[in-house]
Structure 1
């Protein structure tokens, strides 16, 4: 089966934003008088906003509605994210170029809010690389459920076995496999000690994905 469609996660795969999200979460937790830890934050990586705050609300026995908590977090984040130095993940831009040259279709599927997705694809001038930009905030279920990846497949009107998903989180890998798609795990140290063992292949640098390796993965 030729796998001629790639789906990229955004945070930790296209942009190295997890340290920034960590800083913002720490400040938000302090404002809410919640105990912050890196290990707990790593369990949230890859989740969309509402399910994430439902989890936090349950874990910390918070009475405030999850959407109110989410809105507080978003307002805080939209201000802070523009002030932080967030860059693209090393070697990912040449990878996008190689895939485009091979005729591979590409889309972005992220649990981040649509506003953030739009901000970063414009900031790094990569909007034209992707056919579709899909945000998890438009879906009822978040990663590790497969809904966001299946939505991309529906947009292309293609079966899941045509797709390779690139993910850096345990939640994302589980979602890709639940969607019955091939998953390429990217081991980003800034994303914490994520369990990517369910991925079909794992790389620690996108420079490893030369044209020969990509041909092996895709069959193109």
Structure 2
């Protein structure tokens, strides 16, 4: 699949083993032995507060935003890749993969760009210009297929609906309003609400707290490995719907993988979802 234009590398069927970072520790493809709960949280929510509660059913769905509700990630990759191409360099796919679904790695991208350029760059100006171009590229984008259907299904089931995004609130809320989807969401949790974004679980724990549910009662909908790892660290079930940018990346433990949200029947999936040991 070719995402960028001239001088922009293509993303093809490569499978990447990612290294995740959390609180100064690093794990290849997530910590071994316990990928669901018990991970350190550097945000404002303590996962221990949820222990000891018994829940018999799913009661909430929590959406990611970028790449799941709206395809902003194709434009994001393209604008960064074109920036690198201007300096006769390529944006490494593994570096971009670490940034997808997280806001904690943009400085690392610019560090790499400066190393390729051989001198310091005006990062503030470059980022402003890149963001403006990204906004223009996604201006005509519509909600991805199946998004509205799943939102309506959740409402029919009586589930609470939240959102956990590593992007800032103005970005997310502005696009939701434009797409006519804002009214579906009871809670929006964004990078302003936590100290660390995905793959740290703080955003998902904060969203569960906001919705008034135990993390084990919620299912997260994600498109990126960073987001999926954050959801599993929070103790949630996770359904992934990789997009054009993320479908070639390696995901860790998830509960279901789909090609499109159009394929998801929440009621049927919930009925076949096994009850966890801690919910018995």
The equivalent of 2:179 in structure 1 is: 124
Residues 1-220 of structure 1 mapped to structure 2, 5 A cutoff: 1-30=56-85, 35-48=90-103, 51-57=104-110, 59=112, 69=123, 72-74=126-128, 76-78=130-132, 80-84=134-138, 85-210=140-265, 212-216=267-271
Distance 1:37 1:86 in 2: 26
| TM-score computed with the length of structure 1 as normaliser | 0.83
Q: Give the RMSD, CA atoms, in angstroms.
A: 2.8
| TM-score computed with the length of structure 2 as normaliser | 0.67
Q: Which has the higher helix share?
A: 1
Unaligned runs of 5+ in 2: 1-55, 275-280
Unaligned runs of 5+ in 1: none
| 1:70 Cα deviation from its structure 2 partner | 6.5
Q: Is the 8 A contact 1:196 1:202 kept in 2?
A: no
Q: Is the 8 A contact 2:216 2:236 kept in 1?
A: yes
SS of the residue 1:82 aligns to: helix
Displacement over 4 Å in runs of 4+: 30-34, 57-65
| 1:34 Cα deviation from its structure 2 partner | 5.4
> What are the Cα deviations for residues 73-119 of structure 1, in whole angstroms up to 9, with x where unaligned?
25531454134332211122111111111111111111122221122
| 1:18 Cα deviation from its structure 2 partner | 1.6
Distance 2:266 2:68 in 1: 19
Q: Is the 8 A contact 2:193 2:203 kept in 1?
A: no
Larger radius of gyration: 2
Distance 1:76 1:59 in 2: 16
Distance 2:224 2:142 in 1: 19
Aligned length: 215
Q: Is the 8 A contact 1:166 1:185 kept in 2?
A: yes
Distance 2:186 2:244 in 1: 29
The equivalent of 2:15 in structure 1 is: none
SS of the residue 1:81 aligns to: helix
Q: Is the 8 A contact 2:59 2:213 kept in 1?
A: no
